[in-house]
Chain A
Amino acid sequence: KNQVEQSPQSLIILEGKNCTLQCNYTVSPFSNLRWYKQDTGRGPVSLTIMTFSENTKSNGRYTATLDADTKQSSLHITASQLSDSASYICVVSAPGNQFYFGTGTSLTVIP
C-alpha cells in the first residue's frame, strides 16, 4: 500500500533554533517528492521538489534531503523564524498524476 508517514506530529522550537522534520514513504513507482508549507487558513504551497537522482536541495533556510534507497526524506530548517510556524506536508508523486500526502508536522516557533 502506498503510504507517506511524517514525524514528529508536532514540534515547538525557540526562534533562531534549527529543526528537522522526517518523511518516510512506501510509494512505488516514484516520480518526485515535495515538501509543502501550509500556513493556517491557506492552501499548501510547494517549498522544494526532489527527483529520484537528487540527494539534497535547498531553498533559502530550508534544506531537503532524499534517500531513495531507504525511501526517507527530511526537511531541515535553519535559524527558524516566527513566520516558519505552519504545517509541513510531505507529498510523494507517482506516475499518472497521483499524489500521496503525509498528515503533516505542525511546527510552532516561539519567541
Chain B
Amino acid sequence: DAGVIQSPRHEVTEMGQEVTLRCKPISGHNSLFWYRQTMMRGLELLIYFNNNVPIDDSGMPEDRFSAKMPNASFSTLKIQPSEPRDSAVYFCASSSPGALMNTEAFFGQGTRLTVV
C-alpha cells in the first residue's frame, strides 16, 4: 500500500482565497484524522471521521474551516477564506479498526500551507 496520500505537498495562497487540501487514506482503514502542526502548538487534532461520518470536530478553529469525507477513500479540508494565521503543516492520518490495544494512526507526508 502507498500509505496515506496527501495533496498538494505545498500550497502558497493569498489571504482571502479558498484552499482545499486532499487526503486518500490507506485502503481498509475506517478512521481518518486531520491535524494541524505549528511550531508553537505542535500537532492539534482538527476533526476525525469514523466510517465517513464526522465524529469530533471540536478542534476545527473557526467556521472558515470545513471537512468532508464523501467516501471511504477520499477526504477534503477546506479553508475559506484563508488567513495568514492558517499557515501551518496539515496532516491527514488514518487508522484501522484492528485490535484496540494496537491502534495506530498512519500519517501522510503533510501539506505545507503558506497564506500571504
Contact = CB atoms under 8 A, between A and B. Distances in A.
Contacts, number: 51
Nearest to A99: B105
Contacts of B45: 99, 101
Size class of the contact patch on chain B? 20 to 34
B101 A97 contact: no
Interface of B: 4, 31, 33, 35, 41-45, 48, 50, 91, 93, 95, 100-105, 107-110, 112
Given A43-B107, A89-B43, A99 B102 contact: no
A97 B41 CA distance: 22
A88 to B, nearest CB: 12
A101 B103 contact: no
Nearest to A103: B42
Interface of A: 31-32, 34, 41-46, 49, 51, 89, 91, 93, 95, 97, 99, 101-104
Contacts of B112: 41
17 contacts: A31-B103, A32-B101, A32-B103, A41-B109, A43-B93, A43-B108, A45-B107, A51-B101, A91-B105, A93-B103, A97-B50, A97-B95, A101-B43, A101-B44, A101-B45, A103-B42, A104-B43
Contacts of A51: 101
Contacts of B4: 43
A97 B42 contact: no
B107 A44 contact: yes
